[in-house]
């Protein structure tokens, strides 16, 4: 999907939710959309500074926090990086990521079976899952 299409969808989602996609948030969204791999906050900051020399770390972190809350991006905890979600209209979907340790490619997959198994185990422990991200590391097809 093109950056323009994704941005139009994000703007519509924000409009529907009454959320404000500020110019800074929009620019960070665009920068993330231009990456195929996960990207760190400070790498995004360096890119943003080309456009807005006054940008500070807080600018990036506030934008990433907003974009994450809206379901537009996923934080990959194990590598402290972010990746754009290409189906953010389903913002409450379980997140399952395949992360290539060689080239950095990140693929988001959807396994209903994995989600059901995890929820079943959580239910058996009387644990209520509020947010789910499963990260699997290895090598992608291109790097094998």
How many angstroms separate the CA atoms of 23 and 141, rounded? 37
> pLDDT (tens digit, 9 = 90+) per residue, 100-128?
999 989 998 888 888 889 999 999 999 99
Question: Among candidates 63, 101, 68, 102, which has minimal Cα distance to 83?
Answer: 68
Whether the Cβ atoms of residue 115 and residue 75 lie closer than 8 Å to each other: no
- 4-54 pLDDT, tens digit per residue, is 999 999 999 999 999 999 999 999 999 999 998 899 999 999 999 999 999
Question: What mean pLDDT is predicted for residues 59-78?
Answer: 94
Helix or strand (DSSP H, E) at 75: strand 73-76
Q: How many helices (H) and strands (E) does the chain have?
A: 5, 5
> Is residue 44 within 8 Å of 32, Cβ to Cβ?
yes
What is the pTM assigned to this prediction? 0.84
Q: How confident is the model at residue 92 (pLDDT cuts 50, 70, 90)?
A: low
């Amino acid at each position: 999907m093109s950056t323009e299409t994704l941005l139009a969808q994000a703007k519509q989602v924000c409009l529907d939710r009454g959320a404000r996609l500020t110019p800074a948030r929009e620019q960070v969204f665009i920068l993330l959309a231009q990456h195929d791999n996960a990207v760190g906050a400070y790498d995004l900051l360096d890119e943003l500074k080309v456009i807005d020399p006054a940008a500070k770390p807080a600018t990036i972190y506030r934008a990433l926090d907003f974009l994450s809350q809206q379901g537009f991006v996923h934080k990959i905890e194990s590598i402290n990086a972010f990746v754009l979600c290409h189906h953010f209209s389903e913002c409450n979907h379980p997140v399952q990521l395949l992360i290539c340790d060689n080239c950095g490619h990140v693929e988001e997959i959807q396994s209903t079976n994995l989600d059901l198994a995890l929820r079943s185990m959580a239910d058996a422990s009387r644990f209520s899952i509020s947010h789910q991200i499963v990260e699997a590391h290895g090598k992608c097809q291109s790097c094998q």
